[in-house]
């Protein structure tokens, strides 16, 4: 079955550290890829998405992600995190054959001030 794996369940960083959250998916066909963020007590917000074109995608709040097709990966990065980035981050995939979105289990990011 198709799945999305987020390798880090809980990440703790200090402010100004660089961030990379891993995401891999298992599906050989065409996919659309997303990263969502959920701040404490708030709803899901789209950080960035990849449909086609340049595999390096820039999103809001200084986040970016790189789609590496050969590795089935879509890792999220930010060069310098802030305390306000404390949140849960979800990688998600929509398979082009249907409309269902498959979420990873999420990574809880905690930034120390």
Partner 1 sequence: GAVVSQHPSRVICKSGTSVKIECRSLDFQATTMFWYRQFPKQSLMLMATSNEGSKATYEQGVEKDKFLINHASLTLSTLTVTSAHPEDSSFYICSVGSTGYNEQFFGPGTRLTVL
User: What are φ and ψ of residue 30, in 5° steps?
Assistant: -75, 135
Nearer to partner 1, 6 or 75 (CB): 6
Minimum distance, C-beta of residue 82 to partner 1, in the bound complex (Å): 22
CB of 44 to partner 1, least distance (A): 5
Binding interface with partner 1 (CB under 8 A): 32, 34, 36, 42-44, 46, 49, 51, 88, 90, 94, 96, 99-101, 103-106, 108
Question: Helix, strand, or coil here: 49?
Answer: strand
Q: Within 10 Å of residue 92's Cβ, how many Cβ atoms?
A: 21
Strand partners, 12: 110
Nearest to partner 1 of 49, 77 (CB atom): 49
**CB of residue 28 vs partner 1: minimum separation in angstroms?**
17
CA distances from 63 to 19, 51, 52, 92 (A): 9, 17, 18, 16
The residue (of 25 and 34) whose beta carbon lies closer to partner 1 is 34
């Amino acid at each position: 079955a198709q799945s999305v794996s987020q390798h880090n369940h809980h990440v703790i960083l200090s402010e100004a550290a660089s961030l990379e959250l891993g995401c891999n998916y298992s599906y050989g066909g065409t996919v659309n890829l997303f990263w969502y963020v959920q701040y404490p007590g708030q709803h899901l917000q789209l950080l960035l998405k990849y449909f086609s074109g340049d595999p390096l995608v820039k999103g809001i709040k200084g986040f970016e992600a790189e789609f590496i097709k050969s590795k089935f990966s879509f890792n999220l990065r930010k060069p310098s995190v802030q305390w306000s980035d404390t949140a849960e981050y979800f990688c998600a995939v929509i398979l082009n054959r249907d409309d269902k979105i498959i979420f990873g289990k999420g990574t809880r990011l905690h930034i120390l001030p």
